[in-house]
Structure 1
């Protein structure tokens, strides 16, 4: 007999509800800068470290390589990143932020902190630490 699915107590469903709320709130803020949430993981990786390859970005952001290609194309059209030939490989490119991409960081970085703070406000400080710790453990196992 199949196991009964208890949606209101399902981890996957609950995480999805929270993630959807975070995504919507974040996307609303990003649209003010002409961006979408789909562009965020790549920008975040490059703000942390420039000169990454497309493969590096995909691995760091946990996004498919083909998705990263489309994202980089969009970011290039927005004049936020540029591809430069990799001196160590004729078939590879390194990705760098343009001046416009670098300037955007100071405006965008506070946004997820605000969204996270709002979402986590239902939990006390200990619960927040515990939640983050458990989610990190799960992400590391993926």
Structure 2
């Protein structure tokens, strides 16, 4: 007998619902700090490593290069990042956080931790660890 599709057992559907809820919760919490969620992936990348190119940010954040350019423009207007000439290429820039961008990490990362905790709180601590381990195992190696 052919396997039947069951939405209630569909990994893709369930992970999408959970991810959508987490994104909505993060957006709500970041809004309390007047920070749009659309800027979050780029800031996360830069808090991990500064001096990367826009192309590298796009690859890490899994967004289009043109989208990354617009986001960096917005972050620059907000005074959170600055573009510096790339010593290895006359056609690209390296992106660095400003002091304000670095300082924002202390305000916004706890927001993300809170959202993650709220999503995972339905699981026991060992289940939470296992969930993270399994998702890490499933992540594409290019991330």
Q: TM-score, normalised by structure 2?
A: 0.90
Q: 1:28-79: per-residue Cα shift (whole Å, max 9, x none)?
A: 1111222221111100111111111011111222222222112111111211
Q: Which runs of 5+ in 2 are unaligned?
A: none
Equivalent residue number for residue 27 of structure 1: 27
Aligned residues: 141
Equivalent residue number for residue 86 of structure 2: 86
Equivalent residue number for residue 73 of structure 1: 73
Separation (CA, whole Å) in 2 of partners of 1:47 and 1:124: 30
Separation (CA, whole Å) in 1 of partners of 2:89 and 2:140: 30
Separation (CA, whole Å) in 1 of partners of 2:27 and 2:87: 36
Q: Do structure 1's residue 12 and structure 2's residue 18 form an aligned pair?
A: no
Equivalent residue number for residue 109 of structure 1: 109
How far has the Cα of 1:141 moved from its partner?
5.1
Moved over 4 A (4+): none
Separation (CA, whole Å) in 2 of partners of 1:106 and 1:141: 29
Pairs within 5 Å for 1:113-132: 113-132=113-132
Separation (CA, whole Å) in 1 of partners of 2:106 and 2:11: 35
CA, structure 1 residues 124+55, in 2 after alignment: closer, same or farther (shift >3 Å)? same
Report the more deviating stretch, 66-75 or 12-21: 66-75
Q: TM-score, normalised by structure 1?
A: 0.91
What SS does structure 2 have at the residue aligned with 1:85?
A: strand
Report the more deviating stretch, 60-69 or 45-54: 60-69
Q: Do structure 1's residue 37 and structure 2's residue 58 form an aligned pair?
A: no
Q: 1:63-105: per-residue Cα shift (whole Å, max 9, x none)?
A: 2222211211111121111111112210010001112111111
